[in-house]
Amino acid sequence: MNPRDQHTGGNGSTVDSVAQPLRSDAERNRARIIAAARTVFGRDGLNASMASVAREAGVGIATMFRRFPSKEELLAAVFADRMDAYAQATAEALADPDPWSGFTGYIETVCAMQAADRGFADILTMSFPGAEALEARRAEAYQGFLELIAGAKDSGQLREDFTSRDLVLLLMANAGVLTATGDAAPDAWRRLVAWMIQSFRAPARGPLPDPPEDAALYQAMLRASRDITASEAGKGGRGK
């Protein structure tokens, strides 16, 4: 034990310091903050402030920033399990013996994940370069989706001009529908997704405009995430 972890009591005995209880308190606070952030971001989206998360967690704003110095770090912690499930959905879709069923089932699953959590709906349409674990899971899911596309095309059921960028556009559109309809029409997203899946199926009914370049979509996702974190910084981290 490090000598700094001990002190001498009044009777000369060596007594453990309060360092270990403090570590336990810190871990409890961290868990409370993550649970509160899931509730707040799931309900209000990623524009919800760090201060509102602190209030939900019942901790002070200083405690919040000791545990999570930036909003990006908090988002990475909150949505780590969702991103794991996102990547797992790809693996399950690839295991489907019917390539079209695997492809469409994956799209329906991911869009349903967006519908279940407004914050996650936004996460899937943004990029957070500083959150390496989160971005690694996104990349894993993306590679799996490329395999789903290839299999569905090889089966003759997916139109040849479909690209992975079309999924990004669908997720952006779905996030927008979820935000616009909210509790008023909570299942409206299902119609959008059904329409889109039908439009993806071969044979193509007609030509499409060119999709946006990968770099352009990435910049759009990056800009959206920067808007979220810049908004927090503009509030001094203590917005309502």
Please state which architecture CATH assigns to domain 15-77.
Answer: Orthogonal Bundle (1.10)
Domain spans, the chain: 15-77, 79-231
Q: What is the pLDDT of residue 234?
A: 62
The CATH class that applies to domain 79-231 reads: mainly alpha
Domains 15-77 and 79-231 share a fold: yes
Closest CA to 28 of 59, 70, 72: 59
Q: What is the pLDDT along the chain (240 residues), one digit of tens a residue?
A: 334 444 444 444 444 444 444 477 888 889 999 999 999 998 888 889 999 999 999 999 999 999 999 888 999 999 999 999 999 999 999 999 999 999 999 999 999 999 999 889 889 999 888 888 888 999 999 999 999 999 999 999 999 999 999 999 999 999 999 999 988 999 999 999 999 999 999 999 999 999 999 999 989 999 988 887 776 766 655 544
Q: What sign results for the dihedral spanned by CA atoms 219, 225, 231, 236?
A: negative
Q: What is the pLDDT of residue 19?
A: 42
Strands annotated E in the chain: 6-8, 14-16
Q: What is the pLDDT of residue 232?
A: 73
Helix, strand, coil content of the chain in percent (nearest 5): 70, 5, 30
**Helices 19-44 and 50-57 sit at what angle, rounded to 10 degrees?**
120
